[in-house]
Amino acid sequence: DAKTTQPTSMDCAEGRAANLPCNHSTISGNEYVYWYRQIHSQGPQYIIHGLKNNETNEMASLIITEDRKSSTLILPHATLRDTAVYYCIVRARSGNTGKLIFGQGTTLQVKP
């Protein structure tokens, strides 16, 4: 699975959009981009995933560049409860194992 690079930490004002970048320059054609977040002392929470098209759900939007070498997770109106560590993970679509390889993630601090 391709490696991802994320900033270590970011701040965002409450009510503003939080844009979390992720670089995955070695991604291959059969790999998805997944985003999870982990609020302190809880299990990781699935947010969204995509292959090449932009995706949106009730939690967030995922923008993937045309060359698929980077992506941005957008939380449109961040709240204090969105303070968490956000993980960007690239995983193959097929293959025997679906294990997730987590990096250090981005610690997002939403401030009032």
Partner 1 sequence: DTGVSQDPRHKITKRGQNVTFRCDPISEHNRLYWYRQTLGQGPEFLTYFQNEAQLEKSRLLSDRFSAERPKGSFSTLEIQRTEQGDSAMYLCASSIRGRGGQETQYFGPGTRLLVL
User: Which residues make up the interface to partner 1 (CB under 8 A)?
Assistant: 32, 34, 36, 41-46, 49, 85, 87, 92-105
What the block records as the tokens of 9 is: 């930490």
CB of 100 to partner 1, least distance (A): 6
Q: Which is nearer to partner 1, 7 or 44 (CB)?
A: 44
Q: Which is nearer to partner 1, 4 or 70 (CB)?
A: 4
Q: Which is nearer to partner 1, 46 or 79 (CB)?
A: 46
Query: Rg (Cα) of the chain, in Å, rounded?
Result: 13
Contact 8, 18 (CB under 8 A): no
Q: Which helix (H) or strand (E) holds 81?
A: none
